[in-house]
Amino acid sequence: MTNTTETTGYNERLEEKLAKIFAGGAPKYHEKMKESNKLFVRDRLKLLFDDENYAEDGRFANVEAEGLPADGVVTAIGKVNGQTVCVMANDSTVKAGSWGSRTVEKIIRIQETAEKMQVPMLYLVDSAGARITDQLDMFPNRRGAGKIFHNQVRMSGMVPQVCLLFGPSAAGGAYIPAFCDIVIMVEGNASMYLGSPRMAEKVIGEKVTLEEMGGARMHCTVSGVGDVLVSSEEEAISEARRYLTNFPANFAVKPDKLEAKAAKAGRSLEAIIPENQNAPFDMYELIDQLIDEGSFFDIKKLFAPELITGLARIDGQVVGILANQPKVKGGVLFGDSADKGAKFINLCDAFSIPLLFLADVPGFMIGTKVERAGIIRHGAKFIAAMSSATVPKISVIVRKAYGAGLYAMAGPAFEPDVCIALPTAQIAVMGPEAAVNAVYSNKIEAIEDPKERLKYVQQKHQEYKEEIDIYRLASELIIDDIVAPSDLRQVLSQRLSIYETKDLPMPYRKHAVTPV
Amino acid sequence: MKELKATMAGTVLNVLVGEGDAVTAGQAILTIESMKMEIPVEAEFSGSVQKVNVEVGGFVNEGDTLVTLGE
């Protein structure tokens, strides 16, 4: 009888090696991971994918070495919500998830796979950065770490790229989140920084905590590098799955229409919007009346909250909503809100998601602080993004829209497919008070009696309001329609259906010189 | 102890609390007027008002302390 591979231990040798690979790093690192409320990389994938039937590439990377299973990264292809996706996931139990040359090569290859198959690319990041001992093999070379970022930029807008940050993403590694469309960060564990607090103390003498330097909350509220702050790994994964339901597999396909759902029961728009144009109200409450209940996915919720940006469904149709939030800073636009708006518009436009602008904006902020911070160029960035977007654009003037605020929120000159006003809309180059001050300041000053002066000013305010009466603007076809607040949701649903086949040719040029 | 700071430059429109008052989280403390809009400032946590640092009609810059809250 001849020997066959069944009897000479081939399978045993394979099983033995696979068991070591699947176990990840030494038990003490698993313990440490549990203490930090972190999940093992393969358990993260269990939660992420629809089921256990996913393919894995490069399991045997560095199997010849001791204690470097899969070279510290799992690269896999599986299904999320029935859609094939490619995933890179660091194993922080293996040398703190640091990158060796094979780690980098595996990441590059899974990106190449995502591009070839035109499917979303997910980065589950939890890495201390480069293995300094291996630097020549993985840092400066053509297929070194830089190539990962080069690929991300190349694939940007081609397929959705999502980052789930479970731990550190240090130094160069911080660019993985930076080049993704969205970064979901686990509070307390996720962090990003170019230099660690230890390095900062040594090199520049600054003494700060990890949270202060690059913690999840800091990035989601102050720097804006993070988009979604979650409190657990399970929440990060479920939010990523929910996020992806809004996107097609790639830019060449339109997002799916889902089953229509009713809006949340709540107060009418008439009850929500104050009569006093200068009093605040909660724009989130208004949005809830327009969208399918539970469909809102807030992006950069904690950053520049004076502008709300989020994905939602109206009768099952996906839409990207930008809305001023009067409750925060009066809904005035600042540099950060302009940046937030620009990124969100670019995201939606890349993946055929129509845009809905809900305007209640007194304008952009004024004053030396914002001027020195370049509010003009940040505002230009926002307006350029909105202007260049070729997806359906619906502009709704909810209350006021003054000056460049009108422009930023897709005013008529920027070719929204429709510009609708509610009866409460006030469109003007500036508000009544500022305008009357500007035009009549000499006359006002000439009136000595304060009572007479007040009467004069109030009369001028009234005349101004009549001048910008919304029916006058509609009469001149400046706006396309005036709609009763209780009809707005149905009108939006109808308009979104109408504009489904919008197809605008791209202008003939290489690309714009984008304001930054 | 927490200092509530102005999120933007403006003038103080009204002050709704006094030193020593107890406040609950989310309670309106004062209103700033900026860009002709009323900007509400709310207590971030429940506690008591230690100090009111501004006057009605006064100008505040972004980052100026409006009110100091204690536990």
Task: Classify B17 as helix, strand or coil.
Answer: coil
Q: Measured between CB atoms, does B26 come within 8 Å of chain A?
A: no
Q: Measured between CB atoms, does B20 come within 8 Å of chain A?
A: no
| Mean pLDDT estimate for chain A | 96
Return the exposure string of A49-72: e unless at least 16 CB atoms fall within 10 Å of the residue's CB, then b.
beeeebebebbebbbeeeebbbbb
pLDDT of residue A7: 64
Q: How confident is the model at residue A172 (pLDDT cuts 50, 70, 90)?
A: confident
Residues of A in contact with B9 (CB under 8 A): 367, 369
Evaluate whether A190 touches A214 at the Cβ level (below 8 Å).
Answer: no
Does A6 score more than 90 pLDDT?
no
Evaluate whether A130 touches A120 at the Cβ level (below 8 Å).
Answer: no
**Nearest residue in chain A measured CA to CA from B62:** A369
Residues of A in contact with B7 (CB under 8 A): 328-329
Q: How confident is the model at residue A1 (pLDDT cuts 50, 70, 90)?
A: low
Q: Name, of A272-281, A351-360, A450-459, B59-68, the range with top average pLDDT.
A: A351-360
Q: What whole-number percentage of chain A has pLDDT above 70?
A: 99
Does A281 score more than 80 pLDDT?
yes
Number of residues written out for chain A: 516
- Interface probe with A: pick from B5, B14, B36, most Cβ of A within 10 Å: B36
Residue in B7, B37, B61 nearest the CB of A278: B37
**Nearest residue in chain A measured CA to CA from B6:** A329
Burial zone of B48 (CB within 10 Å; 0-12 exposed, 13-18 middle, 19+ buried): middle
Residue in A327, A365, A431 nearest the CB of B40: A327
Q: How confident is the model at residue A340 (pLDDT cuts 50, 70, 90)?
A: very high
> CA–CA separation, A330 vs A307, rounded Å?
10
Please name which of A317, A327, A325, A318 lies closest in space to residue A341, comparing C-alpha atoms.
A325
Task: Enumerate residue ranges in chain B where pLDDT < 50.
Answer: none
Q: Angle CA(A90)–CA(A95)–CA(A99) in degrees, nearest 5?
A: 55
User: Tell me, what amino acid is at A54?
Assistant: Y
Does A5 score more than 70 pLDDT?
no
Could you report the predicted ipTM of this complex, rounded to two decimals? Answer: 0.89
pLDDT digits (tens, 9 = 90+) for A215-225: 999 999 999 99
pLDDT of residue B2: 87
Residue in B8, B40, B61 nearest the CB of A332: B8
Q: Measured between CB atoms, does A399 come within 8 Å of chain B?
A: no
Check B37 against A434: CB less than 8 A apart: no
pTM of the predicted protein model: 0.95
pLDDT digits (tens, 9 = 90+) for A48-73: 999 999 999 999 999 999 999 999 99
Instruction: Look up tokens 């097609």; give the residue.
Output: A248
How many Cα atoms sit within 13 Å of A411 on the Cβ side?
Answer: 22
pLDDT of residue A45: 98
Check A327 against B36: CB less than 8 A apart: no
pLDDT digits (tens, 9 = 90+) for A81-96: 999 999 999 999 999 9
Which two structure tokens, joined as six digits, stand for A213?
């330097």
> CA–CA separation, A186 vs A201, rounded Å?
25
pLDDT digits (tens, 9 = 90+) for A96-144: 999 999 999 999 999 999 999 999 999 999 999 999 999 999 999 999 9
pLDDT of residue A506: 82
Residue in B35, B40, B61 nearest the CB of A332: B35
Kindly report which listed range (A320-324, A344-348, A392-396, B8-12) carries the lowest average pLDDT score: B8-12
More confident residue, A42 or A507: A42
- DSSP lists the bridge partners of residue A192 as A169
Q: Measured between CB atoms, does B11 come within 8 Å of chain A?
A: no
Q: Measured between CB atoms, does A282 come within 8 Å of chain B?
A: no
DSSP string, A285-324: HHHHHHSBTT--EESSTTSSTTEEEEEEEETTEEEEEEEE
Residue in A276, A329, A431 nearest the CB of B39: A329
Q: Measured between CB atoms, does B9 come within 8 Å of chain A?
A: yes
Does A472 score more than 90 pLDDT?
yes
DSSP string, A361-405: E--B--SHHHHHTTHHHHHHHHHHHHHH--S-EEEEEEEEEEHHH
Check A279 against B7: CB less than 8 A apart: no
Check A363 against B35: CB less than 8 A apart: yes
At a CB cut-off of 8 Å and minimum separation 6, what does A4 contact? Answer: none
Mean pLDDT of A257-266: 97
Q: At what angle do helices A101-117 and A145-155 cross, to 10 degrees?
A: 20
